A = this chain, B = another copy of it.
Amino acid sequence: MAERLVVVGGDAGGMAAAAQARRMRPDLTDLEIIGFERGGRTSFAACGIPYRVAGLVAELDDLVARSPEEHRRRGIDIRVHHDVRAIDLDERTVEVVDLASGRILVEPFDQLLIGTGARPIRPDLPGIESEFVHGVQNLDDAEDLLAHAEDAGCRRVVVVGGGYIGLEMAEAFLMWGAHVTVVEAAGEVMRTLDCDMGALVRQAMQNHGIDVRTGVTVEGFEPGRVLTDHGPIDADLVVLGIGVQPNSELADEAGIKLGVRNSIVVDRRQRTSAEGVWAAGDCCQSIHLVSQQPVHVALGTVANRQARVAGINIGGGYASFPGVIGSAVTKLCATEIGRTGLTDAEAKAAAFDPVSAVIESKTRAGYYPDAAPIHVKVVVERGTGRVLGGQIVGGPGSAKRIDVIAVAITSGMTADELASTDLSYAPPFSPVWDPVLLAAREAAKLA
């Protein structure tokens, strides 16, 4: 009889793992794969939602990388609108509700993969359940948001939270011609950057016409307005961008161990604390390669990489997930933002003694058209000069330069070694000294 793999969740964590396991064990009589997804779609790019809202993508379904039908054709029996309610580790079954009929199924498994993802944090505030307050995590959320935005006309949009989602949704509604207010409880936007770099992002937001309110705490929602500790703000629509929390209740209730921020603890092969139960994606914990501490990073890259590792292992191969270094990029109109490794503040929190340098340069040769300002910050360990992190804010062509620092961190380079690396140059792409090299050189001097 075939071994039976049950997959909970139809997005990257679940489906990429299932697809990888299937590639390694293509014989259906050897491995049966059955998946359950609460929503109606599979393998969708949640990261693309802001661009659909912005009107840059025609249809929500354009964000679907692989539909349920395509998964089924590839030997993965995925059932949408099926909600897994419980895992019984002793009986090795899951209890599933068919949301269409209300019927309850009990499905046995030999191996179980949990890819339940994450959901936007909705703080317990008065009015948070109002129709005009939207979290955005899956395509159904996005559909609601779009419908509401079209109905409401959306002249006044309030985004709660000045992080990635906040920035991307703010950009999206700027493209609607809306008046956009971003409310951030902290003293500066983009808390994944140090404050000096966050300030550059805030200036860019303001230059693009966004009303940025830092140090302002949202206290509730009333029809047509957001209540804050600095008075009310009028709003036709509110988007929550204050982070996500892992959907780990199912695992927790089954007795599977949780870690940081209630994310599911996994080992380097993506095994949970329960025998034969795997997890991948936004519901999981990761290890940060620089701080060596557990973290919860809900990003599509991490989800896909973890899923691939889980799938190879379930498929009978060997793969290990080396960890994350927190690389991320985003943009706000013409302003690009990148970060990797530890910020100065994070490095201190991880007991490093960091020093850092920030340089301002240009994205291209100064004489080349559209050379734009770029700021690069490099954080290094005092004494050793080892690169711990990098942050970039600048014009077009800035953000992906962060990958150079990501590789340097991963390979344990010192700032001096990075500064003398033979990076490429041509006037349309860089000054002779690439801004990353300049920042590394300055940081090396301080180490």
Establish whether residues B418 and A400, one from each chain, have CB atoms under 8 Å apart when the complex forms.
no
| Contact pick for A411, options B338, B412, B426, CB 8 Å | B412
Which residue of B is nearest A363, CB measured? Answer: B400
Q: How many Å lie between the Cα of A418 and that of B408 in the bound state? A: 11
| Contact pick for A57, options B321, B338, B368, B411, CB 8 Å | B368
- By a CB distance below 8 angstroms, the chain B residues around A301 are 422-425, 432-433
Q: How many Å lie between the Cα of A248 and that of B433 in the bound state? A: 26
Q: Which of A315-359 contact B (CB under 8 A)?
A: 321-331, 338, 340
Q: Does A245 interact with chain B (Cβ within 8 Å)?
A: no
Which residue of B is nearest A407, CB measured? Answer: B407
Contact pattern, A 368-401, Cβ under 8 Å of B = 1, otherwise 0: 1100000000000000000000000000010111
Establish whether residues B399 and A400, one from each chain, have CB atoms under 8 Å apart when the complex forms.
no
Q: How many Å lie between the Cα of A200 and that of B254 in the bound state? A: 54
Give the Cβ gap from A142 to chain B, nearest Cβ, in Å. 13
Establish whether residues B426 and A331, one from each chain, have CB atoms under 8 Å apart when the complex forms.
yes
Q: Name 14 interchain pairs, CB-CB below 8 A, sorted by A.
A: A45-B367, A47-B427, A48-B365, A48-B367, A57-B369, A300-B425, A304-B433, A321-B420, A327-B425, A329-B424, A331-B429, A401-B403, A403-B436, A408-B411
Q: Does A285 interact with chain B (Cβ within 8 Å)?
A: no
For the complex of A and B, the 10 pairs showing the least CB-CB separation, nearest first, are A411-B411, A329-B424, A327-B424, A407-B407, A62-B367, A301-B425, A325-B422, A403-B423, A327-B422, A329-B426
- By a CB distance below 8 angstroms, the chain B residues around A338 are 424
Establish whether residues A427 and B48, one from each chain, have CB atoms under 8 Å apart when the complex forms.
yes
Contact pattern, A 106-142, Cβ under 8 Å of B = 1, otherwise 0: 0000000000000000000000000000000000000
Q: How many Å lie between the Cα of A369 and that of B399 in the bound state? A: 18
Which residue of B is nearest A408, CB measured? Answer: B407
- By a CB distance below 8 angstroms, the chain B residues around A302 are 422
Q: Does A56 interact with chain B (Cβ within 8 Å)?
A: yes
Establish whether residues B331 and A428, one from each chain, have CB atoms under 8 Å apart when the complex forms.
yes
Q: Does A152 interact with chain B (Cβ within 8 Å)?
A: no
Q: How many Å lie between the Cα of A6 and that of B404 in the bound state? A: 38
Give the Cβ gap from A372 to chain B, nearest Cβ, in Å. 14
Which residue of B is nearest A423, CB measured? Answer: B403
- By a CB distance below 8 angstroms, the chain B residues around A329 are 424-426, 429-430
- By a CB distance below 8 angstroms, the chain B residues around A17 are none
Establish whether residues A399 and B368, one from each chain, have CB atoms under 8 Å apart when the complex forms.
no
How many copies of this chain are found per oligomer? Answer: 2
Give the Cβ gap from A171 to chain B, nearest Cβ, in Å. 10
Q: Does A184 interact with chain B (Cβ within 8 Å)?
A: no
Q: Does A219 interact with chain B (Cβ within 8 Å)?
A: no
Contact pattern, A 74-98, Cβ under 8 Å of B = 1, otherwise 0: 0000000000000000000000000
Establish whether residues A425 and B299, one from each chain, have CB atoms under 8 Å apart when the complex forms.
yes
| Contact pick for A422, options B410, B422, B427, CB 8 Å | B410
Q: Does A421 interact with chain B (Cβ within 8 Å)?
A: yes
Q: Does A51 interact with chain B (Cβ within 8 Å)?
A: yes
Given contacts A45-B432, A410-B417, 8 further A-B contacts (CB under 8 A): A12-B432, A47-B432, A48-B427, A325-B422, A327-B422, A327-B425, A403-B424, A410-B421
Q: Does A434 interact with chain B (Cβ within 8 Å)?
A: yes
Q: How many Å lie between the Cα of A399 and that of B364 in the bound state? A: 13
Q: Does A413 interact with chain B (Cβ within 8 Å)?
A: yes
Q: How many Å lie between the Cα of A225 and that of B423 in the bound state? A: 39
| Contact pick for A427, options B51, B369, B412, B429, CB 8 Å | B51
- By a CB distance below 8 angstroms, the chain B residues around A426 are 47, 164, 328-331, 399
Which residue of B is nearest A404, CB measured? Answer: B403
Establish whether residues B300 and A51, one from each chain, have CB atoms under 8 Å apart when the complex forms.
no
Q: How many Å lie between the Cα of A35 and that of B410 in the bound state? A: 44
Which residue of B is nearest A319, CB measured? Answer: B420
Q: Does A237 interact with chain B (Cβ within 8 Å)?
A: no
Q: Does A201 interact with chain B (Cβ within 8 Å)?
A: no
Q: Does A298 interact with chain B (Cβ within 8 Å)?
A: no
- By a CB distance below 8 angstroms, the chain B residues around A403 are 401, 403-404, 423-424, 434, 436
